[in-house]
Homo-oligomer: A and B are copies of this chain.
Amino acid sequence: MPSPFSFALLATADGARLGELRTSHGVVQTPAFMPVGTQGSVKAMRQRDLEEAGAQIILGNTYHLYLRPGDTLIARRGGLHRFIGWQHPILTDSGGYQVFSLAERRRIDERGAEFRSHLDGSVHMLSPETAVDIQARLGSDIAMVLDECLAYPASRDETAASMERSVRWAARCRAQFASVRDGAGPVVGATNPGQAQFGIVQGGVFQDLRDRSADETIAIGFEGYAIGGLSVGEPLDLMYVVVSETARRLPEHQPRYLMGAGTPQDLVECVARGIDMFDCVLPTRNARNGQLFTSQGRINIKNARYAEDESPLDPSCGCYTCRTHSRAYLRHLYLAGEMTAGVLNTLHNLTFYLDTMRRIREAISLRAFDKFRQEFLRSASRLSLDS
């Protein structure tokens, strides 16, 4: 049976790629941004709000969903799509990043990561194999391999050792993925026979380690490849160089996903370096903190200058928030602590991000990406309203 997962590269322009990702839950046009739906919900959004903002794919966090409500419960309810009422594609991470950043008293060795839940202190083991099994139960369209996440900065030796372990884990993840897919191993209750699996390139900011990681991960063979371990505090210029050098080493006809990035400028800059997929909490988290992205730069809505500002957040934006409300009202809602502030601000920020991706795709298809990029960066930096 042919996999329902495929990627077609439709056009390239100035280093940027226009593509189409097909999954058993529908098509994703790339370059794509994936809003982060940590616990089965993109914070403050309903699923139809996401559709309205233009989301074609969202991300779910395996760590959170495994702990609550539990991957086995979700599998009994037919998988994550059905459980959360989102019928479009979903990518799940491996859970590793949250184990490294959120869980308590973790112990990592070759087998995997033992950790205590941040919710109730209970002890759990996340191994390459269980990371695959959990994601099989969740039934995402794209599952990620378990990798080791290093803090920045890390020494070359540390980075090399960690990268090599991540490669070994990737091989185990692929073997487990094949076993689940072929029904060879013990029954895990997989809910999406069309699931694909992406490998992750590590290696920190050392390009020769990145190259080795890329080559060895590609040798294992995945449906797509991610660049992990960036956007963790390294200088922006360095991140762009690593993205650029690493992306060119990846297979041309498979999707490339830069994990955890970034600002709107980062998205445009990394599309220019050959990236197809992004995820980041910035638009949603910043929205709840009153930090808004606009075509003219960032706005901190609590600033007193907006107290009587009748204009919309972003005159160029067509979202409900910008069509309906003034900056003055949004400032009031934020200062009054109203939940609706989070709702309206999130809808705007996500619309801004997703609209930026739409414009990027249009520019590539018009073979005018470089012109778009220059104008976007100039416009975004022209008025950094509340830097």
Contacts and interface: CB of A to CB of B under 8 A. Distances in A.
Given A68-B336, A77-B310, 6 more contacts: A40-B333, A43-B340, A44-B343, A77-B308, A83-B332, A85-B329
A363 interface: no
B310 A41 contact: no
Interface residues of A, number: 38
A342 interface: yes
A151 interface: no
Interface string A19-60: 000000000000000000001111111111000000000000
A232 interface: no
Nearest to A40: B332
Interface string A330-370: 00110110111011100000000000000000000000000
Given A308-B76, A326-B77, A46 B336 contact: no
Contacts of A307: 69, 73
30 contacts: A39-B333, A39-B336, A39-B338, A40-B333, A40-B336, A40-B338, A41-B333, A41-B336, A41-B338, A42-B340, A43-B338, A43-B339, A46-B340, A46-B344, A47-B324, A69-B307, A69-B335, A77-B308, A77-B310, A77-B326, A77-B328, A83-B326, A83-B328, A85-B324, A85-B325, A85-B326, A85-B329, A339-B342, A339-B343, A343-B343
A84 interface: yes
A320 interface: yes
A41 B85 contact: no
Contacts of A338: 39-41, 43
B73 A340 contact: no
A340 B344 CA distance: 12
A326 to B, nearest CB: 7
A315 B162 CA distance: 53
Interface in A118-143: none
A73 B332 CA distance: 11
Given A44-B343, A307-B69, A339-B343, A83 B329 contact: yes
Task: Return the 3 tightest CB-CB contacts between A and B, nearest first.
Answer: A39-B336, A41-B340, A44-B339
A168 B64 CA distance: 60
A181 to B, nearest CB: 27
Nearest to A288: B339
A320 to B, nearest CB: 7
A60 to B, nearest CB: 12
Contacts of A340: 41-46
Interface in A269-315: 307-308, 310
Contacts of A326: 77, 83, 85
A338 B44 CA distance: 7
B46 A332 contact: no
Contacts of A47: 324
A42 B307 CA distance: 20
A310 B85 CA distance: 11
